Structure formats: C-alpha cells, structure tokens
Structure 1
C-alpha cells in the first residue's frame, strides 16, 4: 500500500508572515518602551537636581514676622534648667521661644530667700540657693506643711545608666517627662532635616544659628553649675529644717546635713566670667538676628519654624509640669506624702516645738516671742499670727 501524501497547507505562508509580523511589533514596542523609559528617567534626574525632593508649595500667608516668636519671654527653658540643675547636650536640639534667657534661670525665685530654722540645732539662716527656693515655691501650698526629702543621687551601675546620665544629666526617671523631652528633641532634629531637604538655606541657617546659641548656653551652664562652697563636712549627721516661704507656705526638709547644705547654702550657678559673658552676649545677639532675618526664609520654612517654636514649647512645658523632683549638686529633692493643712501657723509651731524638744529656732524665726523677766516661761504671742 502506497503511503498517503500530507494534505496541502495553503495557510503555512500566512502563518509564518503573521508570526514574523507579531515579533516585529513586539520588538518595535519594546524599543519604544525603552526609549520612553530612558527619557522619563532622564527627566526625573534633571528634576531632582533642580527641584527639592519635598513639595514646598503653600498658599501665601503673611509670616514675615515669624522669627519674632523666638524672642517671646517664655520661661520653659529656664525652668527646665532649674529642675535638672544643669544643661544636657540634647538641649541643643530643643528650640523654644526664650532660649536666649537660659542664663537668667537663677532669677526664677523672684528674689525670695526664705527664712530657715534647724529643728535639731536651733540655728536660723536663709536658703541661699535660688533653684531650691523655686522648687519649694512650686511644691508648697498656702496654709499647708509640705514634707520634702533630700537624698544623694545613686551612681549608675550599668552601661546604659551611665550613658543616660551623660546624655540627660539631672533628668527624672519617669516615662512622661522623658518622653515629652525626647519628642521635643526629635521635633527639632526633624525640622532641621526638612529644611535641608527643601533646599531652604536661609531656614537652615536660622535653625543652625539657634542651635549654636543653645550650644553656647549649654557649655556655659555646665561650667557654672559645678558644686561650690557648701560649708564644712558634717559626716552622717541627719538634719531637719523648717522653711517659711511667702504666701504662708511651709516646708519641712529632711536628710543628711551634708545633703541639706548642698541644696540650701552657697550658690547654684556661679557668676559668669568675662569670657563667658561675651559668649552669652554672642548667643543672645544671634537669636535676635534670627528674628530680624527670618523674612528671607521660604514660606514653607517659615511654617516649619513657627511649628517648631510652638510645638517644642508645648512639649517642654509638659516635661516640666510632669517633673516632680529637683536635681541639684548630686542630690535630688522630692515631695514625701501629702501636704498637711493647719488652721493657724501657731498650731504648726506648737507641734514642731513638741517634736523637736526646743523652741530657740521658733524664737529666731519670729514664730513666737522670747520669754521676758516679767513673764518667764511665757511662749504666747507669735510675731505674725494667722
């Protein structure tokens, strides 16, 4: 039987042509796509080299005077300096209004130096440390006796504790104040990075000038806050002090005598040396220059600076409000228990005389009058009865 011949395929040439035509279209499309991709990437690279990576187009708002916010007389920086007893390196990135007033932190006590009596020895003197006075004014309540305890700050025993004490000296180990403070630090760093990404060199210069002013104040505060004279060493003797503040606020402070002397006697910040005062003046003038030249900043940069000032001030105020302790010369002051109310100051005096077993401190502080020859043993008639 003869083999059958294959059927004729009349469409074979048309199929080959179709395949060839399809491959041609694919090749043409691929080359067109590659050309388009190359042109797109080239245009994108040119735009990135010319335009900033962040879109800064905002509606026109008159913010030429935004730099004046930096000159606002806000005491958050001074208060933070008092509560920590010094300044930390991270303070450089916390840019808040009134930062040029940091060296005036000792004036927060409004000039008050309250009378203080030692219930153990009878000596009467004044609290000379303005930072301690400010803290006592803050925790004291009118018509109440507030109990304050003074302790030595324990030395860190771990590597992260040592690192924390170096970066954040005098910071209270509580979640809320530390979180608010670190957010203020992050906000300052974030605004600095945004100004760099937008290519706003005037805004970057303004922000850098404020950080430079903060750095100068940081160095000077650290140098001025070294412990100075605090009297002779008293060993492990315990002390008990009664402090009479204005507005009938009374504070009883207990602790080792050496610790009590460290926070009440001597000075907190020594007087500035001539060189330090020169650098302080430079830092202050730089802040005023920022306010004067802020009009050159781009519109988006002005908004960033304004948000930086307001946000950092709010976060630092939260950190200050949530801080319940005062760190001073290696010691920490904290309130113990709730304040005790008294109907009259004489009731407080009589109770403390019974507890201490002596009344010479009360006589020296003018809380009672001294006995006379005509009326020996008389202890009535306080100097100021309330």
Structure 2
C-alpha cells in the first residue's frame, strides 16, 4: 500500500528533489515563444525553468535580422524575439526556407464556434497538443497521490509552484496584448526576404497586415513596476517551495522529482513537434522544402527576378548597385 514510508528514507535520500525545478532549462520560455502567449492550462504544467519564463524576451539570442520587402523595396529589421526564434529554428545554412503567414483558424467566421476553437487548439499539430495535455494531467495525478499519502508538505510545494506559474502566466497574458502594428493595408500582399546569421535565408509571404502582425511593433510590452515586483515574488515562491520540499516525505519527494522530469520531457517533445508559430491572430508555417544554393548571390538574383526589382537587395547588401550614385531606400 502506498504510504510515506513505502521507500525507506534510511536507504534513499530524495528530500532535495525539488532542486530540479531550479535547472535553467529553456523549455518553458520556448513554449511561450512558439504560442505567442501563455495559457491558463500552463499553470498546471510544472517543469524546470518555469521561474525563468519572463526571460523569453531573450529567446532570439540578441539577433535582429535584416529584412527586405521585395514588393516595396524597403529594408528594416525584424525585432519580434519570438518570430526571430522561430525563423532561427526553421532556417538551414545555405538554404532558402519559404514560410507563409495566415490568419489563425479562430478568426475564420465561416467555421462554427466549436470548429474554430478545435482547429485553433490543435493548430500546432495533434501529437504536440497531446503531449502538452499530458503535462497538466500528470500534475493532477501527483496532487491526488500526495493527498492519498497525506503528504501535506509535498502538496504545499506543488501549490507554491502553481501559484508562481499563475503569476507568470497572468503577466505574460497582460504583456502580450496586440499593440501598434502600423496602418492597416487590407487586400495587399507582401513578400519578405530575411537574412539570418550563419547564412540562413527565409522568404516570408502573406498579406501585408499579417506580415506586420508577426514582425512589426512589440510582442511583449515592457514590464510595469508592479509586474516587476510580482515576477520577483513569483521567483521567490519557487525558491521557497524548494526549501519546503526538504520536509516532504521520501515518496512525496520522489513524486515531485518524477513530475518535474516527466513534465520537462513532455514539454520538450511538444516544442520540438510544434510545426508553426502562433503570434496574436496569425500563424507562421513552413510551406515547402528548403532550396539549397551554392552561392548567396544566386539566391539573391533569383529573388530579384521574381520580385522584378533590385532596390531591396542593394539596401541589404546582397548585390552591388550598377549606378553607385543611385539612391537606396532603407
């Protein structure tokens, strides 16, 4: 029968199992980036690194790639960290990867209410979504088992973890509200060429408004003073829970350790199987196989031929202007 003494503490010491949660793993932040926000279901997904969720601002490793609008000639930078992180993930050295931006199924009014939300829920793919759902289910099972063995210290630890997650999720949802995206241009299509580090090239096309949604303005607004205090408090809750975990029973500590490790593995699988980026009411998805080029110039010349103009390529430094005195739009 399951009890606190099912595993003798004289032979196995697991009271420090709560330290697993302090591992600085990027899985929670990566999940926030690919979904573009946080879900209240995330509260019950307890994984190492959850106290670092707000560090998602640095998910792009400081890269802001040069981008050329092949339809207008303007050159700018993509400064949305989540979008850049996704492009880094799909990019391949020496290859041109083509991705398409489309509206989220939740915005399709031609579908029924139920169908819209079902398609939106499974937009990342059925396997990724199922792996994600298992995480909160495991947390529920762990809470039930800790209740059965009356390990109230263990329950308190999970409670503090979930409270910390609640605070972080709420702040992410507040910070990820859609803000300035420029003037609307309905019915106009756009085509962008993005130059990433390590000679990775991305062609991103869709409607101009959708392209602006995933590339322009801020993704997460700056934290307010109150939000900063709340984030600090949530981080301290995680450390407090780790301290309290030393009072949990050996079986309870083992359950907490297994929950953290399994949730981390499931979330990692979920992130790796997610085939798209969700950003506000848009989705970015790779639509064809990458095309390999022997030289970057060959790729640039092909894109110039398709777009019918070369000013954007000159502004990006891909080619040398035939007339050195010609103005360049940047």
Q: Which of 1 and 2 has greater Rg? A: 1
User: Does 1:306 pair with 2:245?
Assistant: no
- Structure 1 pair 190–224 and aligned structure 2 pair: CA distance change class (3 A): same
TM-score by length of 2: 0.93
Is the CA contact (8 Å cut-off) linking 1:85 and 1:170 kept in structure 2?
no
**Gapped runs of 5+ residues in structure 1?**
1-52, 377-386
Number of equivalent positions = 320
Query: Which of the residues 329, 333, 346 maps onto 2:284?
Result: 333
1:264 equivalent to 2:212? Answer: no
1:133-176 deviation digits (Å, cap 9, x = unpaired): 000000000000000000111236445446658xxx76535221
Name the residue aligned to 1:174: 125
**Aligned match of 2:32:** 81
Give the 3-state SS of the residue equivalent to 1:65 in structure 2. Answer: helix
The answer to whether structure 1 residue 345 and structure 2 residue 293 are counterparts is no
- Find the residue that maps to 1:247 and give its secondary structure: coil
Is the partner of 2:71 in helix, strand or coil? coil
Does 2:77 match 1:129? no
Q: 1:281, 1:192 → 2: CA distance?
A: 26
> Which residue number corresponds to residue 235 of structure 2?
284
Query: Which of 144, 153, 158 pairs up with 1:202?
Result: 153
Q: C-alpha offsets along residues 240-285 of structure 1, whole Å, 9 cap, x if unaligned?
A: 0000000000000000001001100111111111111111111100
* RMSD across aligned positions (CA): 1.7
Distance 1:205 1:241 in 2: 50
SS at match of 1:125: strand
Q: Look up the match of 1:383.
A: none
* TM-score normalised according to structure 1 size: 0.80
Query: Residue 347 of structure 1: CA displacement?
Result: 0.4
SS of the equivalent of 1:147 reads: strand
Partners of 2:125 and 2:63 in 1: CA distance: 30
SS of residue matched to 1:235: coil
> Which structure would you say has the larger RCO, counting Cα contacts within 8 Å and 6 or more residues apart?
2
The answer to whether 1:118 aligns with 2:69 is yes
- Which one of 82, 94, 102 corresponds to residue 53 of structure 2? 102
| Post-superposition offset of 1:54 | 3.3
Structure 1 residue 372: Cα displacement: 4.0
Task: From 365, 369, 380, give the equivalent of 2:320.
Answer: 369
Deviation at 1:373, TM superposition (A): 6.2
